Structure 1
Amino acid sequence: MGGAVTGGLVDRFGRVHRDLRISLTDRCSLRCTYCMPADGVPWLASATLLSTDELVRLARVAVGLGVRSVRLTGGEPLLRPDVVDVVRALAGLRTPDAPLELSLTTNALRLPELAAPLREAGLARVNISLDTLRADRFVELTRRDRLADTLAGIEAAKAAGLAPVKLNALVMRGVNDDEIADLVEFAIDRGLEMRFIEHMPLDAGHTWRRESMVTGEEILGAVSERFALEPLGHDGSAPATLFRIVGTAATVGVIASVTGAFCERCDRVRLTADGQFRNCLFAHEESDLRTLMRDGADDARLADAMRACVASKRRGHGIDDPTFVQPARPMSAIGG
């Protein structure tokens, strides 16, 4: 594992990459209509998945290259049997300045049992997917009758001291766009942070259509019908444009990944559950760190591969370009 690791993850446009998203599994306990078909998708072969030791080793190399925050994603990351052990191992990594900032994105179904152990292991905060407050609509969207479990998971996260708890809602025209203000009110009442996301072309069925996408501007218009908003701008390289709800301490954010792309300040890289390093959510090329590692590469060679991948990053994701082609991997296999 030896070999000197030097330099950072800087692309040819000068963007410095400090945020690593690690997918723990491509499997999920829901079947959201915007993500995968009712019968799911072919899962990654077990032999290709990174072990905890492999995952932590690659994270350690990335930290040596300047990564300062890690978010665990999936699929549904809480389906990984050793997720608490993964969090504990990653929480033990140290940057030159402070402990690694560690967060997780989840559908919350397993948080009632796992929130407290995850917090004890070193997890700082969670982002929870919540697209609707209506039980019947939740079933239509996810093909599972689990809204009560999601809500219980939100409460468990709060009780465990995971903070802030952020709620992510993907807004779809004619599906849940009539609940935008209701979701904001739900978040305000519970001391949560609401984030709305434009629908992106990352579904397994490649059914995304621009005309069905609710834009960030439309989302803000719906929020403004009920609440007065004070613009706060951006929080560093974070993707959301933030607004304070006047008269409260609450904020609401809009992630306009399509119409207001934040590529110019992007500092993210991704590691898939099967050990592929990606410089963009919409990338068509990956760097196979798993094979490199299992073939005996030392840390310096792994670092070189990470740097080379980042160096080839495009200026933007190109969704607005007529030549845009959706990546072959669905979101569940890439990691959010």
Structure 2
Amino acid sequence: MSDPLVDSFGRVHNYVRLSITDRCNLGCQYCRPGNRAAYTSQTDQLNFDEMVAIVNVLAEMGVTKVRITGGEPLLRPRLEELVAKLGALSGIRRIGLTTNGMLLASKARALRRAGLTDVNISLDSLLPERYAKITRGGDLGRVLDAIEACFEAGFETLKLNVVLMQGVNDDEIESFLRLTLDYPLQIRFIEYMPVGNHTEGWKAKYMPLEGILAQCAKREWNARLVEPADSLANQSFCGAADDAGPAKYYRISGAAGEFGLINPVSDHFCMGCNRLRITANGYIKPCLYWNDEWDLKPFIGNDEMLRKVFRQSLEAKPQRHEMIVQPSHKPSQHVMRRQMSQIGG
């Protein structure tokens, strides 16, 4: 094995988020604001063999987990072939998928057979009309069918990602929490982040997540913090107990599932960051928020050069993001101007 992926702050990176397309069949307000994202051309988009070659080098440097993202990954045909190729790489233990779920129901079993271990589904409302508005055309019924298909397919973990927006879906917190009472899944509440060019209305919708625990107390639900080793995210895997990601998980007494709080704005978790991001057009991004990225395409097939670029990107990785900047403070680096759908989250 090559030297591990350690940045200048001592953070070990064992997780890569691999965007396989920036195209999407929805236009979620926080992901594609304005719905005007310019798509990568087919010729600039990495093919599956190029993706596998990149991940293979990362695996040799200690990466054990791959999450396939987009855009909407299921827009790429034969996704199960990529999953199988990634799963055949030495050292890769977990392969996840982040999806909006619109196309997932019919593909869940094939993806599970190919080696997909866990699924994250974006679901910001349980009300059909509201869901359609937030996503600009999404069909909630299709997402609910996908959730059922995931249970039937036997994925090891199933997570529902809820971007919490003040005045938009914050009145549904209790409805999401109730899902954890009966189903062995993880509801993850995520703070609304100011990413991309269209951040003017961000403050009006942003809300911190501490009110979620207050809602549990109001309902007299005893919600206790779950230690990483006891979380559903780790019970089925051989990975380290501290590999549950940025969420702090809680379980209501007697509940089948858990809920997680992801606070990238109010309580950043940068010092525990263990992830790199590969964009659909072949750039590596060491940090979601900053503009720095390195083109990998010229070096695919040259493993030593890829390793060099990976290390260069880590040397430049900042200690933390600066999503909240005081008016008198100038950002220390160039802020990311890509939209979330162009990064892969």
TM-score range, shorter chain: over 0.9
Structure 1 stretch displaced more, 149-158 or 178-187: 178-187
- RMSD over aligned CA atoms reads 1.7
**What TM-score, normalized to structure 1?**
0.92
Post-superposition offset of 1:34: 1.6
In the TM superposition, what whole-angstrom CA distance separates every residue of 1:254-289 from its partner, at most 9, and x where no partner exists? 001111111011101010110000101112110100
The one-letter amino acid of 1:306's match is F
Query: Unaligned stretches of 5+ in structure 1?
Result: none
Matched with 1:278 is 285
Q: Is the 8 A contact 1:56 1:90 kept in 2?
A: yes
Matched with 2:309 is 305
Matched with 1:333 is 342
CA distance in 2, matches of 1:197, 1:70: 21
In the TM superposition, what whole-angstrom CA distance separates every residue of 1:177-207 from its partner, at most 9, and x where no partner exists? 0001101112432322111000011255233
CA distance in 2, matches of 1:189, 1:44: 41
Within-5 A mapping of 1:92-171: 92-95=88-91, 99-171=92-164
Matched with 2:171 is 178
In the TM superposition, what whole-angstrom CA distance separates every residue of 1:129-179 from its partner, at most 9, and x where no partner exists? 111110110111011140000110111111111121111100000000000
CA distance in 1, matches of 2:193, 2:303: 35
The one-letter amino acid of 1:168's match is N
Q: Is the 8 A contact 2:193 2:202 kept in 1?
A: no
SS at match of 1:66: coil
SS at match of 1:102: strand
The one-letter amino acid of 1:80's match is R
The one-letter amino acid of 1:330's match is Q
CA distance in 1, matches of 2:336, 2:227: 30
2:253 corresponds to 1:246 = yes
2:39 corresponds to 1:43 = yes
SS at match of 2:277: strand
Matched with 2:11 is 15
SS at match of 1:178: helix
Query: In percent, how many aligned pairs have the same letter?
Result: 38
CA distance in 2, matches of 1:103, 1:191: 17
2:225 corresponds to 1:231 = yes
CA distance in 2, matches of 1:241, 1:145: 29
Q: Is the 8 A contact 2:131 2:139 kept in 1?
A: yes
Matched with 1:255 is 262
The one-letter amino acid of 1:301's match is M
CA distance in 1, matches of 2:222, 2:19: 37
Q: Is the 8 A contact 1:271 1:278 kept in 2?
A: yes
In the TM superposition, what whole-angstrom CA distance separates every residue of 1:82-137 from its partner, at most 9, and x where no partner exists? 31111111011121xxx421111111111111100000000001011111110110
In the TM superposition, what whole-angstrom CA distance separates every residue of 1:191-229 from its partner, at most 9, and x where no partner exists? 221110000112552335335311021233234333221
**What TM-score, normalized to structure 2?**
0.90
SS at match of 2:187: strand
Q: Is the 8 A contact 1:36 1:204 kept in 2?
A: no
2:270 corresponds to 1:266 = no
The one-letter amino acid of 2:339's match is P
Q: Is the 8 A contact 1:216 1:256 kept in 2?
A: yes
**Residues 21 and 39 (structure 1 numbering): CA distance in 2 closer, same or farther, change over 3 Å?**
closer
In the TM superposition, what whole-angstrom CA distance separates every residue of 1:32-70 from its partner, at most 9, and x where no partner exists? 112224544110111111011100000000001110100
2:288 corresponds to 1:288 = no
**Residues 181 and 203 (structure 1 numbering): CA distance in 2 closer, same or farther, change over 3 Å?**
farther
Which of 38, 43, 66 is the equivalent residue of 1:70? 66
CA distance in 2, matches of 1:179, 1:218: 12
Post-superposition offset of 1:319: 1.6
SS at match of 2:17: strand
Which of 205, 211, 214 is the equivalent residue of 2:207? 214
In the TM superposition, what whole-angstrom CA distance separates every residue of 1:2-31 from its partner, at most 9, and x where no partner exists? xxx721211111000001000010011111
Structure 1 stretch displaced more, 181-190 or 317-326: 317-326
Q: Is the 8 A contact 1:35 1:204 kept in 2?
A: no
Q: Is the 8 A contact 2:185 2:256 kept in 1?
A: no
**Residues 68 and 145 (structure 1 numbering): CA distance in 2 closer, same or farther, change over 3 Å?**
closer
